[in-house]
Amino acid sequence: MSTLLRTSPQDQFFAGARACVPVAVSVAAYGLVWGVLARGAGLSPLEVVLMSGLVFAGSAQFVALDQWNQVPALLPIGPLILAAFIVNLRYLLLTATLRPLFPERRLGWRSLSMYLVTDENWAMTVAAMARGEGSIAFLMGGGALAFCSWMLTNLVGYGLGSAIDDPSRWGLDFAFTATFLALLLGMWKGRQDIVPWLVAGLAAILTSKVIGGSWHILVGGIVGSLAGATLEWRRSRVHQS
Amino acid sequence: MYTSPEALLAILGMAVATIAIKVSGLLLADRLPRQGFAAAWLRHIPGAVLAALVAPALATGNLAEVAAALVTGGTFLLFRNLFLAMAAGVATVFLVRMLVGA
């Protein structure tokens, strides 16, 4: 808490951006790929800028490319919106954990700051909160960096067109997994984490095998955290009686 | 530089759906109690979501991914440096794939 009181919002903003530099690399790798694929799917440069700027959600944008149609009359508008809604449902879980960053009771327009929340700056901010740090400015700094690197690499990828094949040739497809694995290890608080993490992982593996898409994140996150909460709740009841 | 009313409508709809979910999570969090079962549930969400993000990628991975995951985890536990851990993992995947020829 002491560092939070001493540093200005500007310092926090840049600290958040700095903290997100490692994950911005994986954002950039995916951004390049999305740009290349968007050109293949027939989006115009204006549509690329609009979608990346307004929707700003990687997995939902990848799914949208699958559904896109160059002919306006054939564009599946309803399914596109529904898919974005379902793929992004997991953000309910993410932004709910950021509530302690706002000291005020009524949020109003400030809640729109959640627009800049991505997996990357969310994870960095939650890790900072666990250390007693983290702030809205910190979150926004990471979000601004993720936004810039996403938009920039989308356009570069679009420009490169089909010149780039998939980033797996350079092992860059693993940057995402490696980053989240290291973040997960950094969240280790003790043996009480074993069960929820195992349950979340197994549920996610099962879900990705059965349903596919990005449902495994939502299912694993809910089932795993419920398992952890149930264990903790039962343990506290045993202590009371 | 062009677009169509249909494409504009689809993109705006996607944007509104996405922002509505992100804002709702924050607003709904207020209705949940700060202690007890729901609070414990919220506390366990971040780790569970991260585990759910990582697990399928590792389960479907081959030798390169599993080796790189071990290197990434080991590097992070040793140095507590996220970028170093990520770079070590990417380098391992790249090298193993090259050696194995996958």
Range(s) of the domain holding residue B81: 62-102
Residues A65 and A133 in one domain: yes
Residue A62's closest CA among A131, A157, A138? Answer: A157
State the smallest CA–CA distance between residue A8 and chain B in angstroms: 24
Residues A42 and A117 in one domain: yes
Report d(CA A233, CA B33) in Å as an integer.
14
Residues A27 and A99 in one domain: yes
Do B55 and A94 touch, CB atoms closer than 8 A? no
In a domain, B66, yes or no: yes
Residue B102's closest CA among B73, B65, B60? Answer: B65
Two structure tokens written together for A87 = 């793929």
Among residues A163, A187, A211, the one where a domain terminates is A187
- In chain A, residues with a C-beta closer than 8 Å to the C-beta of B5 are 72
In a domain, B49, yes or no: no
Range(s) of the domain holding residue A199: 190-241
Residues A83 and A177 in one domain: yes
Residues A176 and A238 in one domain: no
* Residues in contact with B21: Cβ distance below 8 Å, sequence separation at least 6, in sequence order: A85, A88, A89, A91, A92
Q: Between A and B, how many CB-CB pairs are < 8 A?
A: 298
Report d(CA A71, CA A50) in Å as an integer.
18
- Which pLDDT band holds residue A213 (cuts at 50, 70, 90)? low
In a structure prediction context, what are the per-residue pLDDT tens digits for chain B, which is 102 residues long?
589 999 999 999 999 999 999 999 999 887 756 667 877 887 788 888 889 889 998 998 889 999 999 999 999 999 988 778 988 998 999 999 999 875
B23/A22 CB distance under 8 A: no
In this complex, the residue of B21, B56, B59 whose CB is nearest that of residue A92 is B21
In a domain, B3, yes or no: yes
Among residues A146, A162, A187, the one where a domain terminates is A187
Report d(CA B93, CA A212) in Å as an integer.
24
- Angle at which helix A58-67 crosses helix A77-88, to 10 degrees, equals 150
The total of structural domains in chain A comes to 2
Report d(CA A136, CA A144) in Å as an integer.
12
In a domain, B13, yes or no: yes
Give residue A6's pLDDT: 60
State the smallest CA–CA distance between residue A184 and chain B in angstroms: 6
Two structure tokens written together for A126 = 């939650």
Do A34 and A65 touch, CB atoms closer than 8 A? yes
Two structure tokens written together for B76 = 């992070």
Residues A145 and A173 in one domain: yes
| pLDDT surpassing 50 at residue A2 | no
Residues A63 and A176 in one domain: yes
Residues 23-42 of chain B whose Cβ lies under 8 A from any Cβ of chain A: 23-30, 32, 36-38, 40-42
User: Which helix (DSSP H) or strand (DSSP E) does residue B49 occupy?
Assistant: helix B37-59
Tell me what ipTM this predicted complex has. Answer: 0.79
* Residues in contact with A143: Cβ distance below 8 Å, sequence separation at least 6, in sequence order: A16, A116, A117, A118, A121
Residues A36 and A139 in one domain: yes
A170/B2 CB distance under 8 A: no
The total of structural domains in chain B comes to 2
A172/B90 CB distance under 8 A: yes
Among residues A161, A187, A213, the one where a domain terminates is A187
Residues A169 and A63 in one domain: yes
